Amino acid sequence: MSDQQQQAELYARRILQGFHKHYEVFQEVTAGASERFTQGDWLGGQQAASERISLYDQRVSETTKLLRELTNENWQPELWQQTRQIYHAYLAFHPQAELAETFYNSVFCNLFHRRYFNNAYIFVESTLSDSIPVPLETEFRSYFPVVQGMRRTLQRVIADIDFGTPFVDLEGDIRLLRQAFKAQAIETDLASYQMRIDVMRAPFYRNKAAYVVGRIVTSTATYPFIVPVLRADQGGIYLDALITQADAMAVIFGFARSYFMVQTRAPSALVRFLKSLMPKKTLAELYSAIGLHKQSKTEFYRDFLHHLQQSDDQLVAAAGVKGMVMTVFTLPSFPYVFKVIKDRFGPGKHIDRDTVIERYRLVKRHDRAGRMADTLEYVNVAIPLNRVSADLLEELQATVADSLRIEGDTLVIKQLFVERRMIPLNLFLEYASEQETRNAIIDYGYALKEMIAANIFPGDMLLKNFGVTRHQRVVFYDYDEVQYLTDMNFREIPVADNSVDQLSAEPWYAIAPNDVFPEQLATFALPKQPWRDILLSEHPELIQAEFWRQQQKNIRNGVVTDVFPYSSSMQFKRNV
């Protein structure tokens, strides 16, 4: 064996060892979700979810430092081509091969210049297509009602999951679940010998619930389902609902929610199973949903590159009111927006670039409560210059020149944030029907309430900073003014001493930096009186300072509000 081959093997082994350490720690944190759920340790769950997000960067930094010491940062092209080949061979039967590829990419990209970011040295394209895929069956169990009947099969499904704590009334829950299957027409016309039930081995934990995910398979169709499991106040657990509607399942796995905690030995198999249940979800979205956000970034970027190859439209400025902090653009044929921090902010924005970055990362780490869009952050993104419209390039050069450089026929953006494209709420309301308008404004109120219950104060609550998803949910997406709710000071507007003060265009009272006056919310956020009337008819407490102060008290007292990603109408009706 040559010295170069020995070096290549050493580098490949060290990087793979770094990945194994990362995934072991990631799984340890994830495994704790079961105990936190059974103990009702909701604050501990939030802390673990936040800490888990930073684990990847810690391990990449450790491994990068080790490789720098081994290589003395000496660039040897043939050596690194060989390192990649050896690493590729290590992954042929690796259960987390796609994650290990991404980890390798992260370490290499920390070590060397962007000019080497191609398939000769990193995994721009995944090599999994050359390997034998991990069987889906590693991630789920199959049950056959023809053997024991439906009732005993469902009992077995729940028993095999083993939540580690007793049910309050399992027999009653199984009866309700069976009735729900019949009511939703899944079991009505099927005999027990006409179906198979596949259920994920591990439950999906998030916030105050666990979710059993599975499908009923027949000779002609597949029926996905999700069963939320909740903890009773007095201890013990119970089945809360049966969810089979595609839209409702998509919302549970939506991009505005915190990542699930779910143990998996073979993430690719788990994600492929989820993809079979929710085919409209991308691989990037599904990896993100289970907490593998770095793999989500990899899958998204591959999707973007493939889309560029298969389309010919150009990037253009995004629709909506231009922001004072971000320049936002989009590719019309691709359902995402790209955001770059401006070189100079608009008047009234007393923050700097680092503060904006930290607030976007704060939201990434925080419980997003189903109301804040997930964001992918990239550095040194290369985009073909011919895919950038002339008008957009002019705007970029005028507003974000410090974040740009042109290398030949490529535009490189130093730092980029990516979010799902939504219809800005202010634009949606301009053409919405009367009922759509009412629904959106009411949901805007719920979005505010659910964010503040999660200790997030959105800051700028103007409609332009919220979007409407394809499921007609209102979601917040502009984070430069985000702060913790508990850091704010909610006040009533003082009574004016005289009519001159009352009619003055300027406040007659002192205002500190974190002072907020909720009674101004409807007036400033909703420009039309009919819209204000709708909001205040459904959410009058939003303009009461005491309501906001009470939410702060709840948070400081450790109260975690129930915010579940499915309608209360789906919950089982129990005889009390």
Q: What is the pLDDT of residues 303-335, one digit of tens each?
A: 999 999 999 999 999 988 898 999 999 999 999
Give pLDDT, residue 280.
92
Mean predicted lDDT score pLDDT of the chain: 91
Give pLDDT, residue 505.
60
- Rounded to an integer, the average pLDDT of 181-204 is 81
Tokens of 249: 């399942």
Model confidence over 464-473: pLDDT tens digits?
999 999 889 9
Cα-to-chain-centroid distance, residue 217: 29
Exposed, middle or buried by CB within 10 Å (0-12, 13-18, 19+), for 89? exposed
- Rounded to an integer, the average pLDDT of 207-227 is 93
Cα-to-chain-centroid distance, residue 193: 39
Cα gap 306→308, rounded to integer Å = 5
Is the CB of residue 70 less than 8 Å from the CB of residue 9? no
Name beta bridge partners: 338.
Answer: 329, 418
Q: Worst-scoring range by mean pLDDT, 73-82, 206-215, 361-370?
A: 73-82
How many beta carbons lie within 10 A of that of residue 17, not counting itself?
12
Determine whether the annotation assigns residue 320 to a binding site.
yes
Residue type, 365: R
Determine whether the annotation assigns residue 318 to a binding site.
yes
Tell me the backbone φ, ψ of residue 421, rounded to 5 degrees.
Answer: -75, 135
- Rounded to an integer, the average pLDDT of 523-547 is 95
Give pLDDT, residue 133.
74
Exposure string over 311-328, b if 16+ CB within 10 A, otherwise e: eeebbeebebeebebbbb
Determine whether the annotation assigns residue 324 to a binding site.
yes
Is the CB of residue 194 less than 8 Å from the CB of residue 219? yes
Give pLDDT, residue 287.
97
Give pLDDT, residue 189.
63
pLDDT band at 486 (very low <50, low <70, confident <90, very high): very high
pLDDT band at 360 (very low <50, low <70, confident <90, very high): very high
Exposed, middle or buried by CB within 10 Å (0-12, 13-18, 19+), for 45? buried
Which residues lie below 8 Å from residue 435, measured CB to CB, with a gap of 6+?
none
Tokens of 85: 């080949």
Among residues 321, 338, 295, which one has the least CA distance to residue 105? 295
Residue type, 464: K
Give pLDDT, residue 461.
93
pLDDT band at 497 (very low <50, low <70, confident <90, very high): low
- Say how many Å lie between the first and final Cα of the chain, rounded: 75
Tell me the backbone φ, ψ of residue 426, rounded to 5 degrees.
Answer: -65, -35
Catalytic residue, from 198, 367, 374, 443: name it: 374
The strand ranges marked E within 88-217 are 140-143, 196-200, 204-206, 209-217
Which residues lie below 8 Å from residue 126, measured CB to CB, with a gap of 6+?
98, 101, 302
DSSP string computed for 10-59:
HHHHHHHHHHHHHHHHHHHHHHTHHHHHHHT-HHHHHHHHHHHHHHHHHH
Give pLDDT, residue 398.
96
Determine whether the annotation assigns residue 249 to a binding site.
no
Which residues lie below 8 Å from residue 377, measured CB to CB, with a gap of 6+?
360, 361, 364, 415, 416, 417, 418
Model confidence over 363-393: pLDDT tens digits?
999 989 899 999 999 999 999 999 999 999 9
Cα gap 287→281, rounded to integer Å = 10
Is the pLDDT at 576 greater than 60? The verdict is: no
Cα gap 413→401, rounded to integer Å = 9
Determine whether the annotation assigns residue 321 to a binding site.
yes
| Domain extents in the chain | 3-132, 137-306, 307-421, 425-556
Is the CB of residue 272 less than 8 Å from the CB of residue 136? yes
pLDDT band at 346 (very low <50, low <70, confident <90, very high): confident
User: Tokens 């990419």 belong to which residue?
Assistant: 105
Q: To which H or E segment does residue 97 belong?
A: helix 97-111
Cα gap 149→139, rounded to integer Å = 24
Give pLDDT, residue 136.
78
Question: How much is the pTM?
Answer: 0.93
Is the pLDDT at 1 greater than 70? The verdict is: no
Is the pLDDT at 49 greater than 90? The verdict is: yes
Among residues 164, 156, 275, 274, which one has the least CA distance to residue 210? 164
Give pLDDT, residue 499.
61
313 is catalytic: no
Q: Worst-scoring range by mean pLDDT, 11-25, 132-146, 276-290, 428-442?
A: 132-146
Determine whether the annotation assigns residue 172 to a binding site.
no
